[in-house]
Structure 1
Protein backbone atom coordinates (compact mmCIF):
# COMPACT_ATOMS: atom_id res chain seq x y z
CA UNK A 1 0.00 0.00 0.00
CA UNK A 2 2.72 2.49 0.97
CA UNK A 3 4.68 1.65 -2.21
CA UNK A 4 1.59 2.34 -4.31
CA UNK A 5 1.08 5.72 -2.64
CA UNK A 6 4.71 6.65 -3.26
CA UNK A 7 4.37 5.72 -6.94
CA UNK A 8 1.29 7.94 -7.29
CA UNK A 9 3.17 10.91 -5.83
CA UNK A 10 6.01 10.46 -8.34
CA UNK A 11 3.88 9.89 -11.47
CA UNK A 12 4.98 11.87 -14.57
CA UNK A 13 1.52 13.43 -14.72
CA UNK A 14 2.58 15.59 -11.79
CA UNK A 15 5.29 17.38 -13.82
CA UNK A 16 3.35 20.67 -13.88
CA UNK A 17 4.00 20.74 -10.10
CA UNK A 18 7.79 20.63 -10.56
CA UNK A 19 8.05 24.14 -9.14
CA UNK A 20 6.99 22.64 -5.81
CA UNK A 21 9.42 20.81 -3.53
CA UNK A 22 8.71 17.11 -2.87
CA UNK A 23 7.38 17.93 0.59
CA UNK A 24 5.04 20.56 -0.85
CA UNK A 25 3.79 18.09 -3.47
CA UNK A 26 3.03 15.52 -0.77
CA UNK A 27 1.15 18.17 1.22
CA UNK A 28 -0.82 19.30 -1.84
CA UNK A 29 -1.90 15.72 -2.60
CA UNK A 30 -2.77 15.11 1.06
CA UNK A 31 -4.77 18.34 1.30
CA UNK A 32 -6.71 17.52 -1.86
CA UNK A 33 -7.50 14.01 -0.60
CA UNK A 34 -8.61 15.31 2.80
CA UNK A 35 -10.95 17.77 1.09
CA UNK A 36 -12.50 14.89 -0.85
CA UNK A 37 -12.81 12.97 2.42
CA UNK A 38 -14.65 15.90 4.02
CA UNK A 39 -16.99 16.09 1.03
CA UNK A 40 -17.64 12.35 1.38
CA UNK A 41 -18.46 12.82 5.08
CA UNK A 42 -20.93 15.55 4.16
CA UNK A 43 -22.66 13.50 1.46
CA UNK A 44 -22.78 10.25 3.45
CA UNK A 45 -23.99 12.09 6.55
CA UNK A 46 -27.21 13.19 4.89
CA UNK A 47 -28.75 9.90 6.07
CA UNK A 48 -26.03 7.77 7.67
CA UNK A 49 -25.21 8.50 11.36
CA UNK A 50 -21.85 10.13 12.06
CA UNK A 51 -20.67 7.30 14.31
CA UNK A 52 -21.37 4.73 11.58
CA UNK A 53 -19.23 6.65 9.07
CA UNK A 54 -16.52 6.98 11.69
CA UNK A 55 -16.59 3.25 12.48
CA UNK A 56 -15.82 2.25 8.87
CA UNK A 57 -13.03 4.82 8.71
CA UNK A 58 -11.58 3.34 11.90
CA UNK A 59 -11.66 -0.27 10.66
CA UNK A 60 -9.86 0.60 7.43
CA UNK A 61 -7.35 2.74 9.36
CA UNK A 62 -6.53 -0.17 11.69
CA UNK A 63 -5.95 -2.51 8.74
CA UNK A 64 -3.74 0.02 6.94
CA UNK A 65 -1.59 0.79 10.00
CA UNK A 66 -1.30 -2.91 10.88
CA UNK A 67 -0.07 -3.64 7.34
CA UNK A 68 2.55 -0.88 7.50
CA UNK A 69 3.80 -1.98 10.92
CA UNK A 70 3.91 -5.65 9.97
CA UNK A 71 5.87 -4.85 6.81
CA UNK A 72 8.32 -2.75 8.85
CA UNK A 73 8.66 -5.48 11.50
CA UNK A 74 7.64 -3.11 14.31
CA UNK A 75 5.44 -3.93 17.30
CA UNK A 76 1.92 -2.56 17.15
CA UNK A 77 1.46 -1.24 20.69
CA UNK A 78 4.60 0.86 21.20
CA UNK A 79 6.42 1.67 24.44
CA UNK A 80 4.75 4.74 26.01
CA UNK A 81 1.38 3.08 26.30
CA UNK A 82 -0.35 5.64 28.55
CA UNK A 83 0.41 8.54 26.20
CA UNK A 84 -0.50 6.37 23.21
CA UNK A 85 -3.84 5.51 24.82
CA UNK A 86 -4.42 9.22 25.43
CA UNK A 87 -3.57 9.88 21.77
CA UNK A 88 -6.07 7.23 20.73
CA UNK A 89 -8.90 8.64 22.83
CA UNK A 90 -8.23 12.24 21.75
CA UNK A 91 -8.08 11.13 18.12
CA UNK A 92 -11.45 9.40 18.43
CA UNK A 93 -13.13 12.29 20.29
CA UNK A 94 -11.76 14.97 17.97
CA UNK A 95 -12.77 13.08 14.83
CA UNK A 96 -16.28 12.42 16.16
CA UNK A 97 -16.71 16.16 16.80
CA UNK A 98 -15.14 17.04 13.42
CA UNK A 99 -17.42 14.70 11.47
CA UNK A 100 -20.48 16.01 13.31
CA UNK A 101 -19.44 19.57 12.48
CA UNK A 102 -18.89 18.78 8.80
CA UNK A 103 -22.25 17.01 8.51
CA UNK A 104 -24.33 19.71 10.20
CA UNK A 105 -22.65 22.96 9.10
CA UNK A 106 -22.08 24.22 5.55
CA UNK A 107 -18.85 22.61 4.34
CA UNK A 108 -16.92 25.87 3.96
CA UNK A 109 -18.00 27.16 7.39
CA UNK A 110 -17.08 23.84 9.03
CA UNK A 111 -13.58 23.67 7.55
CA UNK A 112 -12.91 27.37 8.17
CA UNK A 113 -13.56 26.82 11.89
CA UNK A 114 -11.74 23.48 12.07
CA UNK A 115 -8.75 24.99 10.28
CA UNK A 116 -8.12 27.34 13.21
CA UNK A 117 -6.46 24.52 15.18
CA UNK A 118 -2.84 25.65 14.43
CA UNK A 119 -3.57 28.77 16.47
CA UNK A 120 -4.85 26.73 19.42
CA UNK A 121 -1.79 24.44 19.14
CA UNK A 122 0.45 27.50 19.41
CA UNK A 123 -1.42 28.77 22.47
CA UNK A 124 -1.43 25.36 24.17
CA UNK A 125 2.26 24.92 23.36
CA UNK A 126 2.87 28.21 25.16
CA UNK A 127 0.67 27.35 28.15
CA UNK A 128 1.37 23.62 28.54
CA UNK A 129 4.80 22.98 27.00
CA UNK A 130 6.32 26.34 27.99
CA UNK A 131 7.14 27.16 24.39
CA UNK A 132 7.71 30.79 23.56
CA UNK A 133 5.55 32.41 20.91
CA UNK A 134 7.39 34.96 18.78
CA UNK A 135 5.99 38.44 18.18
CA UNK A 136 4.95 37.35 14.69
CA UNK A 137 3.27 34.31 16.21
CA UNK A 138 1.28 36.47 18.62
CA UNK A 139 0.13 38.67 15.73
CA UNK A 140 -0.90 35.51 13.86
CA UNK A 141 -2.91 34.28 16.85
CA UNK A 142 -4.80 37.58 17.14
CA UNK A 143 -5.53 37.73 13.39
CA UNK A 144 -6.83 34.16 13.31
CA UNK A 145 -8.95 34.63 16.43
CA UNK A 146 -10.46 37.69 14.75
CA UNK A 147 -11.23 35.47 11.75
CA UNK A 148 -13.00 32.93 13.96
CA UNK A 149 -15.05 35.75 15.52
CA UNK A 150 -16.04 37.03 12.08
CA UNK A 151 -17.24 33.59 10.97
CA UNK A 152 -19.15 32.96 14.22
CA UNK A 153 -20.38 36.58 14.73
CA UNK A 154 -21.23 36.23 18.44
CA UNK A 155 -23.91 38.60 19.70
CA UNK A 156 -21.77 40.16 22.42
CA UNK A 157 -19.39 41.45 19.71
CA UNK A 158 -21.73 42.13 16.78
CA UNK A 159 -24.83 43.24 18.68
CA UNK A 160 -27.05 40.56 17.10
CA UNK A 161 -27.71 36.89 17.61
CA UNK A 162 -25.00 34.46 16.56
CA UNK A 163 -25.17 33.43 12.91
CA UNK A 164 -24.58 29.82 13.96
CA UNK A 165 -26.52 27.47 16.16
CA UNK A 166 -24.82 27.69 19.59
CA UNK A 167 -24.70 23.90 19.96
CA UNK A 168 -23.07 23.36 16.54
CA UNK A 169 -20.64 26.19 17.24
CA UNK A 170 -19.75 24.55 20.56
CA UNK A 171 -19.14 21.19 18.87
CA UNK A 172 -16.90 22.85 16.25
CA UNK A 173 -14.82 24.64 18.88
CA UNK A 174 -14.60 21.44 20.95
CA UNK A 175 -13.29 19.66 17.83
CA UNK A 176 -10.61 22.33 17.45
CA UNK A 177 -9.54 21.97 21.10
CA UNK A 178 -9.45 18.17 20.98
CA UNK A 179 -7.51 18.19 17.70
CA UNK A 180 -4.98 20.59 19.19
CA UNK A 181 -4.50 18.39 22.25
CA UNK A 182 -4.09 15.35 20.00
CA UNK A 183 -1.38 17.17 18.03
CA UNK A 184 0.50 17.95 21.24
CA UNK A 185 0.50 14.24 22.14
CA UNK A 186 1.83 13.43 18.66
CA UNK A 187 4.66 15.92 19.12
CA UNK A 188 5.59 14.20 22.35
CA UNK A 189 5.30 10.66 20.96
CA UNK A 190 7.29 11.48 17.81
CA UNK A 191 10.46 11.44 19.91
CA UNK A 192 10.12 7.75 20.85
CA UNK A 193 7.51 6.01 18.68
CA UNK A 194 7.29 4.94 15.04
CA UNK A 195 4.81 7.17 13.10
CA UNK A 196 2.64 4.18 12.18
CA UNK A 197 2.34 3.22 15.87
CA UNK A 198 1.10 6.74 16.65
CA UNK A 199 -1.32 6.52 13.70
CA UNK A 200 -2.60 3.09 14.85
CA UNK A 201 -4.25 4.14 18.12
CA UNK A 202 -6.93 6.63 16.91
CA UNK A 203 -8.56 4.21 14.43
CA UNK A 204 -8.31 1.45 17.04
CA UNK A 205 -10.25 3.60 19.53
CA UNK A 206 -12.67 4.61 16.77
CA UNK A 207 -13.40 0.99 15.89
CA UNK A 208 -14.00 0.13 19.56
CA UNK A 209 -15.96 3.20 20.71
CA UNK A 210 -17.91 4.46 17.69
CA UNK A 211 -20.61 1.75 17.98
CA UNK A 212 -21.35 2.96 21.52
CA UNK A 213 -22.39 6.42 20.32
CA UNK A 214 -25.31 5.45 18.12
CA UNK A 215 -28.32 3.15 18.32
CA UNK A 216 -29.89 4.14 15.00
CA UNK A 217 -27.45 2.77 12.44
CA UNK A 218 -28.88 2.21 8.98
CA UNK A 219 -28.04 -0.06 6.04
CA UNK A 220 -26.32 2.26 3.55
CA UNK A 221 -27.32 2.27 -0.09
CA UNK A 222 -24.72 1.50 -2.75
CA UNK A 223 -24.06 5.23 -3.25
CA UNK A 224 -23.74 5.76 0.51
CA UNK A 225 -21.32 2.84 0.78
CA UNK A 226 -19.18 4.50 -1.89
CA UNK A 227 -19.22 7.75 0.10
CA UNK A 228 -18.38 5.99 3.39
CA UNK A 229 -15.52 4.05 1.81
CA UNK A 230 -14.42 7.33 0.22
CA UNK A 231 -14.14 8.86 3.70
CA UNK A 232 -11.87 6.03 4.84
CA UNK A 233 -9.72 5.84 1.70
CA UNK A 234 -9.34 9.59 1.08
CA UNK A 235 -8.65 10.54 4.70
CA UNK A 236 -6.24 7.69 5.44
CA UNK A 237 -4.35 8.33 2.20
CA UNK A 238 -4.41 12.08 2.89
CA UNK A 239 -2.95 11.51 6.34
CA UNK A 240 -0.20 9.37 4.82
CA UNK A 241 0.80 12.06 2.31
CA UNK A 242 0.66 14.88 4.89
CA UNK A 243 2.85 12.84 7.24
CA UNK A 244 5.36 12.34 4.43
CA UNK A 245 5.26 16.06 3.68
CA UNK A 246 5.94 17.13 7.27
CA UNK A 247 8.72 14.55 7.51
CA UNK A 248 10.82 16.10 4.72
CA UNK A 249 9.78 19.76 4.67
CA UNK A 250 9.58 22.60 7.17
CA UNK A 251 6.14 23.58 8.39
CA UNK A 252 6.75 27.17 7.25
CA UNK A 253 7.01 26.05 3.62
CA UNK A 254 4.02 23.73 3.51
CA UNK A 255 1.49 25.39 5.81
CA UNK A 256 0.41 27.58 2.89
CA UNK A 257 -0.38 24.45 0.88
CA UNK A 258 -2.60 23.09 3.64
CA UNK A 259 -4.62 26.34 3.53
CA UNK A 260 -5.93 25.21 0.15
CA UNK A 261 -8.25 22.78 1.94
CA UNK A 262 -10.56 25.74 2.64
CA UNK A 263 -10.51 26.68 -1.06
CA UNK A 264 -11.32 23.10 -2.04
CA UNK A 265 -14.18 23.11 0.48
CA UNK A 266 -15.70 26.20 -1.12
CA UNK A 267 -15.44 24.63 -4.59
CA UNK A 268 -16.92 21.27 -3.52
CA UNK A 269 -19.67 22.98 -1.55
CA UNK A 270 -20.69 25.00 -4.60
CA UNK A 271 -20.39 22.14 -7.11
CA UNK A 272 -22.02 19.30 -5.17
CA UNK A 273 -24.07 20.89 -2.38
CA UNK A 274 -25.23 24.20 -3.81
CA UNK A 275 -23.60 26.04 -0.89
CA UNK A 276 -22.42 29.59 -1.54
CA UNK A 277 -20.38 31.07 1.35
CA UNK A 278 -21.44 34.53 2.48
CA UNK A 279 -19.10 37.51 2.80
CA UNK A 280 -18.54 36.81 6.51
CA UNK A 281 -17.26 33.30 5.84
CA UNK A 282 -14.95 34.56 3.08
CA UNK A 283 -13.62 37.40 5.24
CA UNK A 284 -13.19 35.26 8.36
CA UNK A 285 -11.63 32.41 6.41
CA UNK A 286 -9.16 34.83 4.79
CA UNK A 287 -8.11 36.12 8.21
CA UNK A 288 -7.62 32.57 9.53
CA UNK A 289 -5.56 31.58 6.48
CA UNK A 290 -3.50 34.77 6.71
CA UNK A 291 -2.86 34.18 10.40
CA UNK A 292 -1.85 30.58 9.75
CA UNK A 293 0.63 31.69 7.08
CA UNK A 294 2.17 34.24 9.44
CA UNK A 295 2.38 31.57 12.14
CA UNK A 296 4.23 29.25 9.77
CA UNK A 297 6.63 31.94 8.54
CA UNK A 298 7.39 33.06 12.10
CA UNK A 299 8.53 29.56 13.00
CA UNK A 300 5.46 29.01 15.18
CA UNK A 301 6.98 28.54 18.64
CA UNK A 302 10.42 28.20 20.13
CA UNK A 303 11.15 25.95 23.12
CA UNK A 304 11.76 27.86 26.33
CA UNK A 305 15.20 27.52 27.87
CA UNK A 306 15.52 25.11 30.76
CA UNK A 307 14.80 26.63 34.16
CA UNK A 308 17.35 26.34 36.93
CA UNK A 309 16.13 24.70 40.14
Structure 2
Protein backbone atom coordinates (compact mmCIF):
# COMPACT_ATOMS: atom_id res chain seq x y z
CA UNK A 1 0.00 0.00 0.00
CA UNK A 2 2.83 2.37 0.95
CA UNK A 3 4.57 1.69 -2.37
CA UNK A 4 1.39 2.59 -4.28
CA UNK A 5 1.09 5.86 -2.34
CA UNK A 6 4.73 6.76 -3.01
CA UNK A 7 4.43 5.91 -6.69
CA UNK A 8 1.40 8.18 -7.08
CA UNK A 9 2.51 10.96 -4.72
CA UNK A 10 2.93 13.42 -7.58
CA UNK A 11 -0.68 12.82 -8.66
CA UNK A 12 -1.98 13.33 -5.12
CA UNK A 13 -0.13 16.63 -4.81
CA UNK A 14 -1.49 17.75 -8.20
CA UNK A 15 -5.06 16.92 -7.12
CA UNK A 16 -4.52 19.08 -4.02
CA UNK A 17 -3.07 21.87 -6.20
CA UNK A 18 -6.13 21.74 -8.49
CA UNK A 19 -8.43 21.97 -5.47
CA UNK A 20 -6.41 24.90 -4.08
CA UNK A 21 -6.65 26.71 -7.42
CA UNK A 22 -10.40 26.14 -7.76
CA UNK A 23 -11.02 27.45 -4.23
CA UNK A 24 -8.78 30.44 -4.96
CA UNK A 25 -10.94 31.16 -8.00
CA UNK A 26 -14.02 30.92 -5.78
CA UNK A 27 -12.55 33.51 -3.40
CA UNK A 28 -11.86 35.79 -6.37
CA UNK A 29 -15.46 35.42 -7.53
CA UNK A 30 -16.81 36.27 -4.09
CA UNK A 31 -14.47 39.26 -3.80
CA UNK A 32 -15.64 40.52 -7.21
CA UNK A 33 -18.96 41.48 -5.59
CA UNK A 34 -17.05 44.26 -3.82
CA UNK A 35 -13.68 44.77 -5.52
CA UNK A 36 -12.48 45.04 -9.11
CA UNK A 37 -10.69 42.06 -10.67
CA UNK A 38 -7.55 44.22 -10.85
CA UNK A 39 -7.54 44.87 -7.11
CA UNK A 40 -8.17 41.17 -6.42
CA UNK A 41 -5.17 40.27 -8.56
CA UNK A 42 -3.05 42.88 -6.78
CA UNK A 43 -3.77 41.42 -3.34
CA UNK A 44 -3.30 37.86 -4.59
CA UNK A 45 0.16 38.71 -5.92
CA UNK A 46 1.40 40.91 -3.10
CA UNK A 47 0.82 38.02 -0.70
CA UNK A 48 2.68 35.78 -3.14
CA UNK A 49 5.70 38.13 -3.08
CA UNK A 50 6.26 37.29 0.61
CA UNK A 51 6.20 33.56 -0.16
CA UNK A 52 8.57 33.85 -3.13
CA UNK A 53 11.09 35.94 -1.15
CA UNK A 54 11.03 33.25 1.55
CA UNK A 55 11.70 30.59 -1.10
CA UNK A 56 14.54 32.67 -2.55
CA UNK A 57 16.24 32.86 0.84
CA UNK A 58 16.20 29.05 1.06
CA UNK A 59 17.33 28.26 -2.47
CA UNK A 60 20.98 27.49 -3.13
CA UNK A 61 20.69 27.25 -6.90
CA UNK A 62 22.82 29.78 -8.75
CA UNK A 63 22.63 30.26 -12.51
CA UNK A 64 24.33 32.68 -14.87
CA UNK A 65 21.37 34.97 -15.66
CA UNK A 66 21.69 37.48 -18.47
CA UNK A 67 18.31 37.30 -20.23
CA UNK A 68 16.70 40.27 -18.47
CA UNK A 69 14.51 41.22 -21.44
CA UNK A 70 13.03 37.72 -21.65
CA UNK A 71 12.55 37.70 -17.87
CA UNK A 72 10.57 40.95 -18.09
CA UNK A 73 8.59 39.57 -21.04
CA UNK A 74 7.66 36.49 -18.98
CA UNK A 75 6.44 38.72 -16.15
CA UNK A 76 4.35 40.97 -18.40
CA UNK A 77 2.77 38.17 -20.45
CA UNK A 78 1.95 36.15 -17.33
CA UNK A 79 0.44 39.21 -15.67
CA UNK A 80 -1.71 40.03 -18.71
CA UNK A 81 -3.02 36.47 -18.57
CA UNK A 82 -3.95 37.00 -14.91
CA UNK A 83 -5.71 40.29 -15.70
CA UNK A 84 -8.03 38.44 -18.07
CA UNK A 85 -8.36 35.33 -15.89
CA UNK A 86 -9.53 37.29 -12.84
CA UNK A 87 -11.80 39.45 -14.98
CA UNK A 88 -13.55 36.40 -16.40
CA UNK A 89 -13.76 34.80 -12.95
CA UNK A 90 -15.76 37.85 -11.91
CA UNK A 91 -18.02 37.93 -14.96
CA UNK A 92 -18.63 34.38 -16.22
CA UNK A 93 -18.86 30.92 -14.66
CA UNK A 94 -15.80 29.53 -12.89
CA UNK A 95 -15.88 26.42 -15.08
CA UNK A 96 -15.80 28.55 -18.23
CA UNK A 97 -13.02 30.73 -16.83
CA UNK A 98 -10.79 27.76 -16.07
CA UNK A 99 -11.63 26.10 -19.40
CA UNK A 100 -10.45 29.19 -21.31
CA UNK A 101 -7.22 29.18 -19.27
CA UNK A 102 -6.64 25.58 -20.31
CA UNK A 103 -6.38 26.59 -23.97
CA UNK A 104 -2.72 27.45 -23.19
CA UNK A 105 -1.37 24.04 -24.37
CA UNK A 106 -2.93 24.71 -27.81
CA UNK A 107 -1.04 27.98 -28.14
CA UNK A 108 2.16 26.51 -26.66
CA UNK A 109 2.10 23.79 -29.32
CA UNK A 110 1.42 26.30 -32.11
CA UNK A 111 4.17 28.65 -30.88
CA UNK A 112 6.58 25.71 -30.75
CA UNK A 113 5.56 24.78 -34.30
CA UNK A 114 5.83 28.23 -35.88
CA UNK A 115 8.65 29.71 -33.78
CA UNK A 116 10.83 26.76 -32.78
CA UNK A 117 9.97 24.59 -35.81
CA UNK A 118 8.96 21.66 -33.58
CA UNK A 119 7.04 18.83 -35.21
CA UNK A 120 3.44 18.53 -34.01
CA UNK A 121 2.51 15.24 -35.64
CA UNK A 122 -0.89 13.84 -36.53
CA UNK A 123 -2.00 13.35 -32.90
CA UNK A 124 -0.95 16.90 -32.07
CA UNK A 125 -3.04 18.39 -34.87
CA UNK A 126 -5.99 16.21 -33.78
CA UNK A 127 -5.63 17.56 -30.23
CA UNK A 128 -5.56 21.15 -31.49
CA UNK A 129 -8.63 20.57 -33.66
CA UNK A 130 -10.61 18.97 -30.81
CA UNK A 131 -9.65 21.74 -28.36
CA UNK A 132 -10.47 24.42 -30.94
CA UNK A 133 -13.92 22.87 -31.46
CA UNK A 134 -14.30 22.96 -27.69
CA UNK A 135 -13.63 26.71 -27.69
CA UNK A 136 -16.23 27.17 -30.44
CA UNK A 137 -18.82 25.18 -28.48
CA UNK A 138 -18.27 27.36 -25.40
CA UNK A 139 -18.27 30.72 -27.17
CA UNK A 140 -20.90 29.78 -29.80
CA UNK A 141 -20.13 32.65 -32.22
CA UNK A 142 -23.00 31.48 -34.45
CA UNK A 143 -25.67 31.93 -31.71
CA UNK A 144 -27.88 34.99 -31.52
CA UNK A 145 -28.23 36.98 -28.29
CA UNK A 146 -31.42 35.22 -27.17
CA UNK A 147 -30.02 31.67 -27.40
CA UNK A 148 -26.45 32.43 -26.34
CA UNK A 149 -24.91 30.55 -23.42
CA UNK A 150 -23.91 33.63 -21.41
CA UNK A 151 -20.38 33.99 -22.81
CA UNK A 152 -20.53 37.30 -24.64
CA UNK A 153 -18.01 38.34 -27.29
CA UNK A 154 -15.90 40.39 -24.88
CA UNK A 155 -15.54 37.63 -22.28
CA UNK A 156 -14.91 35.01 -24.95
CA UNK A 157 -12.12 37.03 -26.58
CA UNK A 158 -10.57 37.87 -23.20
CA UNK A 159 -10.78 34.22 -22.15
CA UNK A 160 -8.97 33.03 -25.28
CA UNK A 161 -6.36 35.78 -24.88
CA UNK A 162 -5.86 34.66 -21.28
CA UNK A 163 -4.80 31.25 -22.58
CA UNK A 164 -2.62 32.85 -25.26
CA UNK A 165 -0.71 35.10 -22.84
CA UNK A 166 -0.31 32.16 -20.43
CA UNK A 167 1.21 30.20 -23.32
CA UNK A 168 3.67 33.02 -24.08
CA UNK A 169 4.69 33.13 -20.43
CA UNK A 170 5.14 29.35 -20.17
CA UNK A 171 7.04 29.16 -23.47
CA UNK A 172 9.46 31.83 -22.29
CA UNK A 173 10.08 29.80 -19.11
CA UNK A 174 11.51 27.02 -21.30
CA UNK A 175 14.34 29.35 -22.28
CA UNK A 176 14.68 31.12 -18.93
CA UNK A 177 15.31 27.88 -17.02
CA UNK A 178 18.74 27.77 -18.66
CA UNK A 179 19.67 31.12 -17.11
CA UNK A 180 17.69 31.56 -13.88
CA UNK A 181 16.55 29.47 -10.92
CA UNK A 182 12.83 28.70 -10.84
CA UNK A 183 12.35 30.98 -7.80
CA UNK A 184 13.79 33.99 -9.66
CA UNK A 185 11.57 33.32 -12.67
CA UNK A 186 8.56 33.14 -10.35
CA UNK A 187 9.66 36.36 -8.62
CA UNK A 188 9.74 38.25 -11.94
CA UNK A 189 6.16 37.18 -12.55
CA UNK A 190 4.83 37.88 -9.08
CA UNK A 191 6.54 41.28 -8.83
CA UNK A 192 5.24 42.34 -12.24
CA UNK A 193 1.83 41.01 -11.21
CA UNK A 194 1.92 43.37 -8.23
CA UNK A 195 3.33 46.48 -9.90
CA UNK A 196 1.15 46.41 -13.03
CA UNK A 197 -2.22 46.25 -11.20
CA UNK A 198 -0.95 48.91 -8.78
CA UNK A 199 -0.32 51.18 -11.79
CA UNK A 200 -3.72 50.22 -13.24
CA UNK A 201 -5.48 51.27 -10.04
CA UNK A 202 -3.45 54.49 -9.88
CA UNK A 203 -4.49 55.43 -13.43
CA UNK A 204 -7.99 54.05 -12.81
CA UNK A 205 -8.53 56.59 -10.04
CA UNK A 206 -8.53 59.32 -12.72
CA UNK A 207 -9.49 57.47 -15.90
CA UNK A 208 -11.44 54.20 -16.00
CA UNK A 209 -13.67 53.78 -19.09
CA UNK A 210 -16.13 50.90 -18.94
CA UNK A 211 -14.74 49.23 -22.06
CA UNK A 212 -11.32 48.95 -20.37
CA UNK A 213 -12.59 47.74 -16.99
CA UNK A 214 -10.38 44.64 -17.30
CA UNK A 215 -7.27 46.89 -17.35
CA UNK A 216 -8.21 50.03 -15.40
CA UNK A 217 -10.18 50.39 -12.16
CA UNK A 218 -9.95 52.58 -9.04
CA UNK A 219 -8.84 51.23 -5.67
CA UNK A 220 -11.65 50.47 -3.21
CA UNK A 221 -10.90 49.94 0.48
CA UNK A 222 -11.92 46.35 1.27
CA UNK A 223 -14.45 45.62 4.00
CA UNK A 224 -13.67 43.36 6.96
CA UNK A 225 -15.30 40.43 5.13
CA UNK A 226 -13.19 41.15 2.04
CA UNK A 227 -9.97 41.22 4.08
CA UNK A 228 -10.79 37.74 5.40
CA UNK A 229 -11.39 36.46 1.86
CA UNK A 230 -8.14 38.11 0.71
CA UNK A 231 -6.23 36.30 3.47
CA UNK A 232 -7.85 32.98 2.53
CA UNK A 233 -7.13 33.57 -1.17
CA UNK A 234 -3.49 34.36 -0.43
CA UNK A 235 -3.15 31.24 1.72
CA UNK A 236 -4.70 29.08 -1.00
CA UNK A 237 -2.40 30.63 -3.58
CA UNK A 238 0.62 29.77 -1.43
CA UNK A 239 -0.62 26.20 -0.88
CA UNK A 240 -1.15 25.90 -4.63
CA UNK A 241 2.47 26.88 -5.30
CA UNK A 242 3.71 24.40 -2.67
CA UNK A 243 1.56 21.52 -3.93
CA UNK A 244 2.26 22.03 -7.63
CA UNK A 245 6.01 22.36 -6.97
CA UNK A 246 6.00 19.14 -4.95
CA UNK A 247 3.86 17.44 -7.58
CA UNK A 248 6.36 17.94 -10.39
CA UNK A 249 9.24 17.39 -7.99
CA UNK A 250 8.25 13.84 -6.99
CA UNK A 251 6.36 12.77 -10.12
CA UNK A 252 7.69 9.76 -12.00
CA UNK A 253 6.03 10.91 -15.23
CA UNK A 254 5.48 14.65 -15.70
CA UNK A 255 3.02 14.02 -18.55
CA UNK A 256 0.61 12.15 -16.27
CA UNK A 257 0.77 14.90 -13.65
CA UNK A 258 0.16 17.55 -16.34
CA UNK A 259 -2.90 15.60 -17.45
CA UNK A 260 -4.23 15.47 -13.88
CA UNK A 261 -3.88 19.28 -13.74
CA UNK A 262 -7.05 19.52 -15.85
CA UNK A 263 -9.00 18.50 -12.76
CA UNK A 264 -9.07 22.17 -11.73
CA UNK A 265 -11.65 22.73 -14.50
CA UNK A 266 -13.86 20.01 -12.98
CA UNK A 267 -13.39 21.29 -9.43
CA UNK A 268 -14.08 24.89 -10.49
CA UNK A 269 -17.24 23.78 -12.29
CA UNK A 270 -18.65 22.23 -9.12
CA UNK A 271 -17.47 25.05 -6.86
CA UNK A 272 -19.02 27.58 -9.25
CA UNK A 273 -22.36 25.76 -9.07
CA UNK A 274 -22.22 25.99 -5.27
CA UNK A 275 -21.65 29.75 -5.60
CA UNK A 276 -24.69 30.13 -7.87
CA UNK A 277 -23.28 29.70 -11.38
CA UNK A 278 -25.78 28.43 -13.93
CA UNK A 279 -25.49 24.79 -14.92
CA UNK A 280 -23.69 24.76 -18.29
CA UNK A 281 -25.79 23.83 -21.28
CA UNK A 282 -25.06 20.53 -23.03
CA UNK A 283 -23.09 22.22 -25.82
CA UNK A 284 -21.02 24.33 -23.37
CA UNK A 285 -20.28 21.23 -21.28
CA UNK A 286 -19.25 19.44 -24.46
CA UNK A 287 -16.94 22.36 -25.24
CA UNK A 288 -15.28 22.11 -21.82
CA UNK A 289 -14.77 18.38 -22.34
CA UNK A 290 -13.34 19.13 -25.80
CA UNK A 291 -10.73 21.54 -24.42
CA UNK A 292 -9.74 19.06 -21.70
CA UNK A 293 -9.55 16.10 -24.09
CA UNK A 294 -7.66 18.08 -26.75
CA UNK A 295 -5.21 19.33 -24.15
CA UNK A 296 -4.63 15.82 -22.83
CA UNK A 297 -3.81 14.61 -26.36
CA UNK A 298 -1.25 17.40 -26.71
CA UNK A 299 0.30 16.62 -23.33
CA UNK A 300 0.45 12.89 -24.08
CA UNK A 301 2.07 13.61 -27.43
CA UNK A 302 4.94 15.43 -25.69
CA UNK A 303 5.74 12.62 -23.27
Query: Is the structural similarity TM-score above 0.5?
Result: yes
Q: CA deviation at 1:275?
A: 3.0
Taking the aligned partners of 2:293 and 2:263, their CA distance within structure 1 comes to 12
Instruction: Specify the alignment match of 1:307 in structure 2.
Output: none
Taking the aligned partners of 2:70 and 2:171, their CA distance within structure 1 comes to 11
- Higher mean alpha-carbon deviation, 73-82 vs 139-148, is at 73-82
TM-score of the pair, normalised by structure 2: 0.86
Matched, 1:218 2:220: yes
Matched, 1:89 2:76: yes
User: What are the residue-to-residue correspondences of 1:230-269 with 2, within 5 Å?
Assistant: 230-249=232-251, 250-269=253-272
Instruction: Specify the alignment match of 2:23 in structure 1.
Output: 36
Q: Assess, with a 3 A threshold, how the Cα gap between structure 1 residues 222 and 77 changes in structure 2: closer, same or farther.
A: farther
Q: CA deviation at 1:222?
A: 2.1
- Higher mean alpha-carbon deviation, 95-104 vs 253-262, is at 253-262
Instruction: Specify the alignment match of 2:215 in structure 1.
Output: none
Aligned residue for 2:280, secondary structure, equals coil
Instruction: Specify the alignment match of 1:290 in structure 2.
Output: 293
Instruction: Specify the alignment match of 1:137 in structure 2.
Output: 124
- Higher mean alpha-carbon deviation, 276-285 vs 195-204, is at 276-285
Please tell me whether the aligned partners of residues 251 and 296 of structure 1 are also in contact (alpha carbons under 8 angstroms). Answer: no
User: What are the residue-to-residue correspondences of 1:39-188 with 2, within 5 Å?
Assistant: 39-73=26-60, 78-155=65-142, 160-161=144-145, 163=149, 164-188=151-175
Structure 1, unpaired ranges of 5+: 1-14, 301-309
Taking the aligned partners of 1:41 and 1:85, their CA distance within structure 2 comes to 26
- Higher mean alpha-carbon deviation, 169-178 vs 226-235, is at 226-235
Taking the aligned partners of 1:97 and 1:78, their CA distance within structure 2 comes to 30
Please tell me whether the aligned partners of residues 62 and 180 of structure 2 are also in contact (alpha carbons under 8 angstroms). Answer: no
Count of aligned pairs between the two proteins: 283
Q: CA deviation at 1:230?
A: 2.5
Taking the aligned partners of 2:54 and 2:62, their CA distance within structure 1 comes to 11
Q: Assess, with a 3 A threshold, how the Cα gap between structure 1 residues 115 and 49 changes in structure 2: closer, same or farther.
A: same
Taking the aligned partners of 1:77 and 1:166, their CA distance within structure 2 comes to 44
Aligned residue for 1:18, secondary structure, equals helix
Q: Assess, with a 3 A threshold, how the Cα gap between structure 1 residues 33 and 151 changes in structure 2: closer, same or farther.
A: same
User: What are the residue-to-residue correspondences of 1:191-230 with 2, within 5 Å?
Assistant: 191-214=178-201, 215=205, 216-230=218-232
The CA RMSD over aligned residues, in Å, is 2.3
